[in-house]
Amino acid sequence: MAVLDEKQITDGLELLEGWEWHPEDAEIRRTVVMPDFMSVVHLVEGIAHAAEQAGHHPDMDIRYNRLTLHQTTHAAGGVTEADFALAARMDELIADAQPRGGRGEGPEGG
């Protein structure tokens, strides 16, 4: 699987919600704030199922009601099309998990 160049990554990010390119870590990243801890846990469960179906897995960091998703293809050493495909699926799951009227980005609770 080919690693994408910076222009391909920048173009791909325009199609996603809230993801940022972190070239120093060769990954794309998104942080989501949910109403509470259990909301994050349920979201992580949905993401885990989607990742298993895709055969591609994000790194996830939970801090109470805040979830940070790190997406890269470790075997390729950078961001690939598979990362964008899974990020798009995670965007759908995040949108479904958000309270109506909320985008999920904002101050951290805890």
CA-to-CA dists, residue 75 to 26, 29, 48, 50, 88, angstroms: 12, 18, 19, 19, 20
In a domain, 103, yes or no: no
Q: How far is it, in rounded angstroms, from Cα 69 to Cα 27?
A: 10
* pLDDT, tens digit, 9 for 90 and up, residues 69-85: 999 999 999 999 999 99
Q: How confident is the model at residue 107 (pLDDT cuts 50, 70, 90)?
A: very low
29 by DSSP, 3-state: which? strand
Q: Is residue 104 part of a domain?
A: no
Quick one: pLDDT band at residue 105, thresholds 50, 70, 90? low
Q: Let me know if residue 17 belongs to a domain.
A: yes
Q: Is residue 38 a part of any domain in this protein?
A: yes
Domain harbouring 52, CATH code: 3.30.1360.20
Q: Establish if 83 belongs to a structural domain.
A: yes
Number of domains in the chain: 1
Query: pTM for this one?
Result: 0.88
Residue 109 domain-assigned?
A: no
The residue segments making up the domain with residue 18 are: 6-97
pLDDT tens per residue across span 61-72? 999 999 999 999
pLDDT digits over 34-55, tens only? 999 999 999 999 999 999 999 9
Q: Which residues of 46-69 are buried (b: 16+ CB within 10 A; e: fewer)?
A: bbeebbeeeebebebeeeebbbeb
- Residue 78 has phi, psi (to 5 degrees) of 175, -165
